[in-house]
Every structure is written in structure tokens, then in C-alpha cells.
Amino acid sequence: MNGGSLRHVVVIKLGGSVLVEEESYSESARFLARRLQECPAQRLIVVVSAQKGLTDELERLARRIKRDPSPRTLDLLWSTGEMRSVALLTLHLEELGVPAVGLNVHEAGLRSNGTSHATANIGLLSAQLQRSFEEHRVVVVPGFFGTRTNGTMVSLGRGGSDLSAVLLADQLEAERCELIKDVAGYFTEDPSTAPRAEHVPWISYDAAIAMAQSGCQLVQPLALEVARERSLELVVRSLLEALPGTVVSAHRDQKGTCRREF
């Protein structure tokens, strides 16, 4: 543990499959406000991706200008999508009266050593992030990016916001890490094409990784591997509170606190 833990912190990741349109930010803010009403002691770190399709749109823009843009410049352009999401969600939370603050990539404190995403780590866990909880119940941070030791931003691979959330949850010893998707967790088959697909309430790390390696894009494979390595329980769920989610862990009996669903 490099950064120290914060009590009653839950990390919630909102990806592009959820942030599909402008109204999605308002809906997500209402979801977070309800969570705080149900669990008054909790503090939330919310990791956001760019709005659905924006990362690809920005890459197309870059390649219209230069066929082979440098990775550093492309990361810089991509990061505008995540920061837009941070600002929009924070504005909607403020409108609801929720004490919230948005941080940028450097303030969030996620560091990458630049040699392998698998060895990405959080260093200097941002005093700024820790201080933010003195006056705010929700801290919104950009996913998908970390910084190198020289300060330049670096992307963490497609689906990297899942990895951002896992690393932050581990570093902060969070009560749990929730990955919000457009489906209510894992199913025996793709529910969009198989109406009789059965919901899976619990799945092991190994089974989830095997599914990811066989083409299931629900959670980034590397995020699952890091969660397994660090014994971090994940909850994969949708924004709809009435629907069950899926716990990803080593054992079926692992539980979090203040959880209606499980």
C-alpha cells in the first residue's frame, strides 16, 4: 500500500457503454446520488470513460490530419474525451446538490512505469485525491490514463478504465470496486442475442478471464488479471438497482458492506 486507505470508499467505474448520450450523465448522477442516500457513510471515487464512440471519433480525426500520429499526441487528444466526461458528470452532481469534485489525470495520481500495463502501479497516491474527500463525497476521475514519471500521459489500452478502477480500489483498500456496464453482469450466453441466457450471480476470476480471452469484452482481461493477483472483489452490474449484478472473486461467500443487491 503506497497511498494509504480511506474509510468507506467505493470505487465505481462508468464506461462508454453506459455514457452513450448527454442524458446518460444526468442518469448516472442520479444513480450516484441515490447510492449516497442509501449509504450515508460511503465516499465514492467515480472513474469515467469518454462518451461512447468518442475515442474512435478522435482517432479518426487524428488520422485525417496525420496517417500515423505519435502515440503521445494521440493520447493527448484521446484524453480530452475522458476529461469531458469528468466535467459533465461533476456538473450534473453539483446540480443535484451532491458535494462533488472532478480531478484531472495528474491529480488522480495513477502512475505507469511505461514498460508494461501489467506492472502499472499507483505512486504518490495523490494527496490531492485524499484531500478532496475532506469537502466532497464524490471524486470523479478520468479512466484509461496514467502518467509516466516524467509527467506525460499514457493510455492503458482499450478497456483501460476497468484497469484504472481496479488499481485505485486496490491502492485505497476500497470496500469494493463496481464496474457499471450496459448489462447486469455475466450471463451464460450473450443476452442481446440469446433471450434464454441465464444470469450468473458469481463467477471466479479464472472463469471470467477465460471468457475474456475467448472474446467476451465485458471486462478488460488485464483488469481481471490484476484483480485476481490482488484478491480484489469486483461487482459487475448495470445502473438499474433492481437488476442483480455479478460478483467476480475467488470465493462465493465474499461480501461487501451496505450492498442491497448481494
- Residue 124, pLDDT > 80, answer no
Between β-strands 186-187 and 100-102, what pairing exists: parallel, antiparallel or unpaired? unpaired
pLDDT bracket for residue 5 (50, 70, 90)? low
pLDDT of residue 202: 95
Q: Report the C-alpha gap between 159 and 54 in whole angstroms.
A: 14
Q: Under DSSP, is residue 24 helix (H, G, I), strand (E, B) or coil? A: helix
Q: Report the C-alpha gap between 211 and 6 in whole angstroms.
A: 33
Please count the CA atoms within 13 angstroms of the CA of 65 that sit on its side-chain side: 10
- Residue 4, pLDDT > 70, answer no
Q: What stretch of H or E contains 195?
A: none
- Residue 1, pLDDT > 70, answer no
| Span 4-9, average pLDDT | 70
Structural domains in the chain, CATH included, are: 9-249 (3.40.1160.10)
Between β-strands 246-249 and 234-237, what pairing exists: parallel, antiparallel or unpaired? antiparallel
CA distances from 26 to 20, 31, 50, 123 (A): 11, 9, 15, 32
CA distances from 236 to 18, 209, 218, 220, 239 (A): 13, 14, 9, 12, 10
82 and 145 in contact (C-beta within 8 Å)?
yes
168 and 228 in contact (C-beta within 8 Å)?
no
Q: Report the C-alpha gap between 51 and 81 in whole angstroms.
A: 7
| Position with higher pLDDT, 171 vs 116 | 171
165-190 pLDDT tens trace: 998 998 888 998 999 999 999 998 88
| Position with higher pLDDT, 199 vs 261 | 199
Supply the pTM of this predicted model.
0.90
pLDDT bracket for residue 121 (50, 70, 90)? low
| Position with higher pLDDT, 40 vs 114 | 40
Q: Report the C-alpha gap between 156 and 67 in whole angstroms.
A: 22
| Position with higher pLDDT, 210 vs 258 | 210
From the list 114, 230, 221, the residue with the least C-alpha distance to 172 is 230
Question: How many residues can be counted in the chain?
Answer: 262
